[in-house]
Amino acid sequence: MSSSNWDSAVIKSIGYVGIGIAIWSLFNGLAPSSLNDIFGLAVTFLLYIGVYLIISIVGWLVVGFPVHWFVKKYTNGSYAFYIAIPLIIVVGGLFNNSPKILGLAALFQALLFRYYLYKKT
């Protein structure tokens, strides 16, 4: 593993999950039906991109990078160690009314980060 790949792995994981959420939302009732809906959808997606990027960057700085450092230093880098914290958030969200998309986004970002970080080139 090259330690210089972590930055591109983070960018890819944030980008692919963000695009996936946007496409998923289009197929779940946000598809526009008029010109006015298209303008509203454009504003919604601009707000979504900004908020998603802020939440993702703060999440990586506060949780992701410390977990990555710990996993890299003390474990073998298995997928199980990378998904442990996001999985706790997802399972915890099942028992209350918190938004489950945040935990799932963190889970998929961690999986993609691990994949791109240790990917054989």
**41-99 pLDDT per residue, tens:** 888 888 989 999 999 999 999 988 888 888 888 888 788 888 888 888 788 878 887 77
Instruction: Supply the mean pLDDT for the chain.
Output: 84
To the nearest whole percent, how much of the chain has pLDDT over 70? 93
Q: What is the pTM of this model?
A: 0.81
What's the burial of 96, exposed, middle or buried (CB within 10 Å: 0-12/13-18/19+)? exposed
**Could you identify the residue written with the tokens 């959420």?**
21
Evaluate whether 78 touches 91 at the Cβ level (below 8 Å).
no
What digits encode the pLDDT tens for the residues 9-35?
899 999 999 999 888 887 877 667 777
Per-residue tokens: 56:
């993702």
Sequence ranges of the domains in the chain? 3-117
For residue 3, pLDDT beyond 70: no
Position 36, amino acid: N
Evaluate whether 103 touches 86 at the Cβ level (below 8 Å).
yes
